[in-house]
Amino acid sequence: MARLSSNPIGLHRFRPCLRIPQPPQFILNPRPRHIKIRKFQTLACQTNPNLEEKDTSTSTTSQEIPLVVEPITVNSQTSKATVDNPALPQFPSKDINRKIAIVSTLAALGLFLTTRLDFGVSLKDLSAIALPYEEALSNGKPTVVEFYADWCEVCRELAPDVYKVEQQYKDRVNFVMLNVDNTKWEQELDEFGVEGIPHFAFLDKEGNEEGNVVGRLPRQYLLENVQALARGEQSVPHARVVGQYSSAEARKVHQVVDPRSHG
């Protein structure tokens, strides 16, 4: 013990050989976070559209895109000039709408009156302006003789067409109206073989029959035959055509009050 105490080597220099194991220490390494940095482009607005003067704050960043916005000032003078500009489309005003309504009304009225005038022609009107039969045979012109009756529906329907053709060729062709109800024309009914009405007989300058058209037919048939008569042709294109007609056997025979009547 004396030696041990006199030994200069301190006891503190001897470490014990038996060590108590320490529990392992785990150090958690956190994953590095990837922070996404979004780069936005900066829009710089200038109230003064002067491209020569640049803002120092916008020129420091290379990614900034300058945007120049021109100020718009709207005043009464500008809006008035825009409205008064004839190059721009104008919206219809009340005056324009009123004029359009007036024009439309007049056009409709004109069409109505024209239609009424055409359909307003009656058999009595045609008979009043027709030429007497005896005079037509003696004036040296070709003649169209129509046998009709007041009760004939087809005759009334064709009256406007006959009137139009007559007004077009009345200076070169005679137009005669003979009422089958008149006993005065019994001989002519037998001579022309009238069995149905309306019956149109087409006569040349000498009074010879070139053809006849009976019943409801297009106006073109009557017009082409009259044109052939006016040109002095020897025949008509529609010499014998029969459409829907009224039977002449149903005529109402009566005495004519006025003996000078040719209807």
Structure token pair of residue 35: 């922070």
Q: Which of 152, 162, 201, 229 is catalytic?
A: 152
Is 17 annotated in the active site? no
Angle at 179 between CA 177 and CA 185, to 5 degrees: 100
Q: Which of 155, 165, 213, 241 is catalytic?
A: 155
Query: What does DSSP assign to residue 12?
Result: G
Structure token pair of residue 16: 């014990």
Q: Is 126 left (phi over 0), alpha (psi -120 to 50) or beta?
A: alpha
Is 45 annotated in the active site? no
Question: In this structure, is the dihedral angle defined by the CA atoms of residues 52, 57, 58 and 62, taken in order, positive or negative?
Answer: positive
**Do 38 and 32 form a contact (C-beta atoms < 8 A)?**
no
Taking residue 121's Cβ as centre, other Cβ atoms within 10 Å add up to: 18
Closest C-alpha among 51, 53, 90, 86 to residue 68: 51
Q: Which residues are catalytic?
A: 152, 155
